[in-house]
Amino acid sequence: MTVHPQKTRVLESYLAGSWRPGKGEGKPLLDASTGAPVATIDASGLDLAEALEWGRATGGAALRKMTYHERALMLKTLAQALMDKKEIFYQESFATGATRKDGWIDIEGGIGTMFAYSSKARREMPNTKVFVEGAVEPLSRDNSFSGQHVLTPLRGIAIHINAFNFPCWGMLEKIAPALIAGVPCLVKPASQTAYLTELMVRHILATGILPEGALQLLCGSAGDLVDNVTGQDVVTFTGSAATGQMLRQNKAIVQNSTRFSMEADSLNAAVLGPDVTPEDPEFDLFVKEVAREMTVKAGQKCTAVRRVIVPRKTAEGVAEALKQRLGKAVIGDPRDDAVTMGPLASRGQVDEVHARIGDLRREAEIVLMPSGEVSAEGAFASPVLLHCNDPLKAEAVHAVEAFGPVATLMPYDTVEEAVELTHKGKGSLVASVFTNDPEVAEEAVLGMAPFHGRILIGNRQSAKSSTGHGSPLPMLVHGGPGRAGGGEELGGLRSIKHYMQRTAVQGTPRLLGAVTGRWIAGAPGQEDSRHPFRKSLAELKIGDRLVTKSRTVSLEDIEHFAEFTGDTFYAHMDQAAAERNPFFEGRVAHGYLIVSFAAGLFVDPDEGPVLANYGVDNLRFLTPVNAGDALKVQLTAKEISPRITADYGEVRWDCLVTNQKDEPVAQYDVLTLVAKDWPQQGA
């Protein structure tokens, strides 16, 4: 399929397997700088219940046939295909008012999030269809009854209702974890900038990389979309608190206990530490960061700094420095390379921001006045800095979000007071603290943390490497309590888990193993004449086991190990001191000696399919080993995870070291890379 975007497009929705226009005339969407029509949008007459059902049945079934790694690789291939087309999206992005830099956050930031999720999932999840979480919980003394948490993909559809400010990132950062989890998506972008999302979805679907039904798009009003949700669906919302609260109380969402995640207004704060003087590098870093947060995306960022909290003695200096920096912003049509700040998304947003500035002015005075409009057609607004002298008594400056290049400066007298001011935002996505003093960092961050989803500490050392106040990262949580919506996105595997159901499964280890595809402590293992290290992935089975002969540890072994490694800790070398230790009865063997002897017992030395040992997990020393004790190892293949893109895979072995009384001495997982075939094909 070739994509031919026209000048003024009629946006269509991709629902139940086809592109469909709305039945109505369509609302015009205008270029934010020129006011020229870009597209029309309408969703009337579209059958949304049918679309949801089609997604659940077609997309869900197709995705669930794949493993986590297969879905993650699919995402990587898709991200590569989108990256190849990025210039097309940049060109379209200008109409939203985004500069090239703003577009980078939206377009390449969004695609980058897909890459990040793809590699994270392949590193941190097994190549299976069920995700086993945490350790087995033994529930009986004789190991005949245990519990294990497993996560499986929900059987519903993920509905993503997005805001106008990030038409690409807003979609991609949400569909990435949902698709890896195995859940199909229906994206409903905000109407104002839906033309860019629609263009990207057209390109996504044209690649044919996603299975049919994995991604649908609704352009236009949501209609009865949310009225048709089930308890297996997930709804995520980004936008205004008013719409979010209304949706949260939707009858179908409430009655079905549908998972609902919301990200709404957030009065994010940047705090300058009391230790910082105008001569310190942190002062400039702070001013730079606040100015950047006010002007990137013309301040239309959920994470933008709205409250600038500074020591009273420094407030004037900060105001002057900010005025100077903000005065350098070149406002205009972002197609012009010299422009550093584009317009707001629409004229409506300009009116909205002016109205909100009016609300703020009830408690704050303007320090930096807005300059004249750049053009009458465009949705231009220049930076506005306000100052509220008594912010502890004020309300509006902590509650009114002017979604544009607007922030309020507020002085404080003690760190405690600064923390209290941040709390007055009633929950925010992010805050930053600029300080070089560990005590200030501790007091401020721990005081602010319960009210924030993310906190950035800025100082001279991290200045070059810092990703900045306003950037949510795929591996870190994005979302905040209270006013910020109470939702949570991103945060590595956490966000994939939002689309899966966690189930505690209880039963006998053998059957738990069958369910999870893992060997579970207490389940039988199988020994045969071949050492398991002689088996390739094609031959190795879960539960394949080796029980070694035993080896007695002598005092000479302990002393030799101590001298050889340099670890002459008293518990190994000084009988009297070891006896005084409450945990030991005389000199004991080093834990690492036990692990080394264990390897000596279980390893098969000849060249074979085991290619490397890349670490151990969960190592615990359980019983002290004294000279004269005899060690034995039971090694069992616990999890086998072949890689899709390599001729080897990971094998996790349960390694149990016991003494002559069969007491467990050490237990851990040995992690190895094993060839799929041996001898290797073509070797």
Binding site for ligand NDP (CB under 6 A): 161-165, 188, 190-192, 221-222, 226, 238-240, 243, 247, 263-266, 302, 352, 401, 403
Q: Which residue in 302, 401, 489, 639 is the catalytic one?
A: 302
* Minimum separation from the CB atom of position 256 to ligand NDP (A): 16
* Minimum separation from the CB atom of position 13 to ligand NDP (A): 12
| Nearest residue (CB) to ligand NDP, 248 versus 292 | 248
- Cα separations (Å) of 463 from 268, 436, 457? 20, 12, 10
| Nearest residue (CB) to ligand NDP, 351 versus 365 | 351
Closest CA to 197 of 276, 110, 112: 110
| Neighbour-count burial for 95-129, b at 16+ CB within 10 Å, e otherwise | bbbbbeebbebbbbbbbbbbbbbbebbbeebbbbb
* Minimum separation from the CB atom of position 43 to ligand NDP (A): 8
- 185 as an active site residue: the answer is no
Give the tokens for residue 72: 């993650």
* Minimum separation from the CB atom of position 547 to ligand NDP (A): 58
Burial group, residue 7, by CB count within 10 angstroms (0-12, 13-18, 19+): exposed
Those residues whose C-beta lies under 8 Å from the C-beta of residue 646, and which sit 6 or more positions away, are: none
| Nearest residue (CB) to ligand NDP, 164 versus 499 | 164
Under 8 Å between Cβ of 441 and 457:
yes
* Minimum separation from the CB atom of position 125 to ligand NDP (A): 28
| Nearest residue (CB) to ligand NDP, 403 versus 561 | 403
Question: Closest-CB residue for ligand NDP?
Answer: 239
Cα–Cα dist 60/232, whole Å: 11
Paired strand residues for 458 = 434
* Minimum separation from the CB atom of position 503 to ligand NDP (A): 31
Beta pairing, strands 215-217 & 185-188: parallel
- Cα separations (Å) of 656 from 121, 507, 513, 552? 29, 22, 18, 16
Those residues whose C-beta lies under 8 Å from the C-beta of residue 528, and which sit 6 or more positions away, are: 544
* Minimum separation from the CB atom of position 237 to ligand NDP (A): 6
Cis previous bond, 679, omega within 30: yes
SS3 579: helix
Beta strand ranges found along 459-533 (DSSP E): 477-478, 489-490, 500-507
Beta pairing, strands 489-490 & 664-675: unpaired
* Minimum separation from the CB atom of position 194 to ligand NDP (A): 7
Other Cβ atoms closer than 10 A to 677: 15
Q: What is the CA radius of gyration of the chain?
A: 30
* Minimum separation from the CB atom of position 166 to ligand NDP (A): 8
Long-range contacts of 57-61 (CB under 8 A, 24+ apart): 57/213, 58/17, 58/184, 58/212, 58/213, 59/157, 59/184, 59/185, 59/211, 59/212, 59/213, 59/214, 59/215, 59/216, 60/153, 60/155, 60/156, 60/157, 60/182, 60/183, 60/184, 60/213, 61/213
- 302 as an active site residue: the answer is yes
Other Cβ atoms closer than 10 A to 484: 28
Q: Which residue in 92, 108, 263, 489 is the catalytic one?
A: 263
Report the run of H or E that residue 79 belongs to, with start and end: helix 68-84
| Nearest residue (CB) to ligand NDP, 443 versus 489 | 489
Beta pairing, strands 610-621 & 215-217: unpaired
| Nearest residue (CB) to ligand NDP, 396 versus 599 | 396
| Nearest residue (CB) to ligand NDP, 162 versus 672 | 162
Under 8 Å between Cβ of 407 and 436:
no
User: Where in the sequence numbering do the catalytic residues fall?
Assistant: 263, 302
